Structure 1
Amino acid sequence: MSHRGRRLAGACIGTVAAALLATGGALAAPPQEASGGKTGPKVAVGAYLHYGSPGVERMRDLSRWLGGTELRAGHTYLPGDTWANIEGEPDSLRSWARWRKARADRLFVLNVPMQEQNEAGVPDERVAELIRSGAEGEYDHHFHRLAERLVALGVPDTVIVLGWEMNGFNYTHRCGPDPENWKRYWRNIVAAMRAVEGQRFRFDFAPNRGSDAVPWTRCYPGDDVVDIVGMDTYDQPPGHTFDEQINQPYGLQQQVDFARAHGKRISYPEWGLFRNGDNPEYMRRMLAWIAKQKPMYHSITDYCPHGVWQCSKNPRSTRVFREFLSTKRRGSPDRVQSPR
């Protein structure tokens, strides 16, 4: 999804109706399963709430709305408009770093663009030129600078979602125009960031679900430079049903199988509702899938049309999400409302 959409998310937040949230039956999977419980690795629950400092503040309120459910994955994005922002110039990184350092078991998840003018509609021919320049090391210093800033802020273990949705059509950091050089460029970036003393970054390779512009396996840069195999997955075609989303080529099942074959954990940096509307069956199935697969973390995109807390347009799905993840029992009072 576009960074512009994320930046404007705060302007399109709706109020969730409390009466719709406090009623409804219990769901199949208890909250402890969704968090890992005693059956496997604990899953870090998160949500994208705002790209800047307000996102940090809303993490606390969302946790209260879920009855105290701990949100361990804090997720934001660096703007891809200029190299200065990709180098970590936004002041909001300080707020996210403070949030991360407040508890030892938290994850700070940062989406990092691989090119400036990342949403400028750059044509394939120019993208191919930029990829080749990256493969030749022209942009390494920008990422070295970002790594230095993150280490200086005290978040050397940041999860870096680098060049997300690279198999798509839109971003300037897309892979399709030159997959082989794109993989070399990724490797250069990882080498530049790992060269900074004190770093412990984990790099998350996160394509869109499905084939999109190019099969995402063609973009995979190698086990030595990838720590997590992620996937951004929204409720939209191709994938009218959740079973189709699982079984489609390069879909959810292929991600799990690919990660297992390469000895990697999985993640879902972005997921949520979309073109299929308010779909409680999708919400129920996706949460059950997460509980079963136990990714390192998952982060719902929480603004309209995708979200459940900051968007009033999906009341049935909101109820499913809240009941699945809340530590409250059904019928407990709703004391926290969505931000206006």
Structure 2
Amino acid sequence: MGSPKRRRVKGVCGVVFGAGLLASCSVIPVGLPEFEPQTFIRGAAQPVDGTAPDARRPAPAPSSNPAPAPSPDPAPMVGAFLRSDERGVRAIEGMQRWLGGTDLRVGHTYLPGDLWSNIEGQPRFLAPWAKWRSAERDRMFVLNVPMLERNEEGLPDDEVRDLLRAGASGRFDSHFRTLAERLVRMDLQDTVVVLGWEMNGTTYSHRCGPDPQAWKRYWQRVVEAMRSVHGQKFKFDFTPSRGRDAVPWPECYPGDDFVDIIGMDTYDQPAGEPFETHVHEAYGLQAQVDFAAEHGKAVSYPEWGLFRNGDNPEYVSRMIDWFERHQPLYQTITDYCPHGVWQCSHNPDSAEAYRGAFFGRPGGDGQAPGPTPTPAPERPVEPVPSDRPSRKPWVDKCISGTDICIRIDNKLPDWMD
């Protein structure tokens, strides 16, 4: 599957009409993607039949020495990519309120791939995520880590091949040791590292295609370097894009000793394909779970959502059913336009499908979500998403340095996305 094109800067503008006109723009930083498990929450809250979870379990037989009560099942590991920096951390609370108090326990972000100094994990970038992670110990932090600088600059295959071979020889080990040391110092030692994601495509410099053997050895060197840091408990997630793309992703697999999780990034593309095609295509969803089972690995879905083909509630519902069936370690929807359901008003039916599936905090009343009210036309203190999705269309472009925004409908040219 071809992943969505990545943008250097993504502008999102919202307009709400009421007593006055509000226009606000927010920008996602350079070098991040698209700049642009479980019965899930339905089961983690009250069951559909209204029976409390404990009431459905048989009572234990009487015993003079009863065994300690088993620990409750872990809550589903559900999250979203909302923004890359501290605004993404702040937005988690708003999306949780939109979901009726559902606890989003996975925080997901990406290191910029422009310079090695950023791939090393600048503390100012990681600090907000470390604070969020440490607030509750059952949270999971997922970090996409590029394997090469200039990762989105369209480097030619010959140059990529040379860089992969240099990495395989150990030239870049020190950058990844520095990253690992910083993560451990910031109490992020159990980070899930999505290393060199979508390596089977052509979007990134850290792609596998120019030299799969060198790529695999380079991955092994990175894992060895990061695992050499005292105190680390990292999990490494091997995440191709769905389908064959430029190269069959199993050809890039670096070996069971260097991988903990088999992930997959999947969007509803190409347009018009039925969901079963995504399941049964070569190197698709079924191939992923089969491969993971053969290798004794958990599965994950670090990126999923809508591509650029409009609202698609059936796809959202079918993906959620897939998660329920295959119990991923975690899943994080890509939540901004055009892919998302909370921060993107262009997908109202998909938003309701997602919200209906995940609504209600654990231990809540299990009631279905009520109608979504329109946000009050108040100027926010900072440009973070509304707690509820507006059914009014958002504008797409704002003129830099002004409060003037221009409505542009339908699909935008790639250079404007």
TM over 0.5: yes
Q: Counterpart amino acid of 1:53?
A: E
Find out whether 1:105 has 2:156 as its counterpart: no
| Matching of residues 156-167 of structure 1 within 5 Å | 156-167=189-200
Alpha-carbon distance in structure 1 between the residues aligned to 2:248 and 2:15: 39
Larger radius of gyration: 2
Match of 1:31 in 2: 41
CA–CA distance in structure 2, aligned partners of residues 195 and 280 of structure 1: 45
SS of equivalent residue, structure 1 residue 147 = helix
Preserved CA contact (<8 Å) 2:151 2:204: yes
Tell me the distance in 1 between the aligned counterparts of 2:236 and 2:14.
Answer: 34
Q: Is the 8 A contact 1:40 1:294 kept in 2?
A: no
Q: CA deviation at 1:31?
A: 3.1
Give the corresponding residue for 1:196: 229
Does residue 330 in structure 1 map to residue 381 in structure 2?
no
Residue identity matched to 1:12: V
Aligned counterparts of 2:77 and 2:372: Cα–Cα separation in 1: 24
- Judge conservation of contact 2:41–2:76 (CA < 8 Å) in 1: no
Q: Residues 34 and 287 of structure 1 are in contact (CA less than 8 Å); yes or no, is this contact kept in structure 2?
A: no
**The structure with more helix, counted as a fraction of residues:** 1
Q: Matched residues in 1 for 2:86 and 2:162: separation?
A: 35
- Over the matched positions of the two proteins, sequence identity in percent amounts to 56
| Equivalences for residues 226-245 of structure 1 within 5 A | 226-237=259-270, 240-245=273-278
- Residue 4 of structure 1 deviates from its aligned partner by 5.1
Return 241-250 or 88-97, whichever deviates more: 88-97
Q: 2:333 aligns with which of 293, 300, 304?
A: 300
CA shift for structure 1 position 13: 5.4
Corresponding pairs, count: 326
Tell me the TM-score normalized by structure 2: 0.74
User: What TM-score does the superposition give when structure 1 sets the normalisation length?
Assistant: 0.90
The alpha carbon displacement at 1:34 in A equals: 7.9
Cα distance in 2 between the residues matched to 1:43 and 1:13: 32
User: Where do 1:86-101 residues align within 5 Å?
Assistant: 86-89=119-122, 91-101=124-134
- The Cα shift of 1:218 comes to 0.2
Bigger shift: residues 60-69 or 85-94 = 85-94
> Cα distance, 1:312 vs. partner?
0.7
AA matched with 2:114: D
Distance 1:330 1:305 in 2: 26
- Asked whether 1:71 is paired with 2:71, we answer no
How many Å separate the matches in 1 of 2:218 and 2:335? 31
Alignment correspondent of 2:179: 146
Asked if the contact 1:2/1:119 (under 8 Å) is kept, the reply is no
Tell me which residue corresponds to 2:322. 289
Aligned counterpart for 2:352 among listed residues 311, 319, 335: 319
| Cα deviation 1:145-180 (Å, max 9, x = unaligned) | 000000011110000000000000120000000001
**1:330 maps to amino acid:** A
SS of residue in 2 equivalent to 1:286: helix
Match of 1:319, SS state, is helix
Which residue of structure 2 aligns with residue 12 of structure 1? 12
Aligned-residue CA RMSD (Å): 2.4
Higher relative contact order (CA 8 A, sep 6+): 1
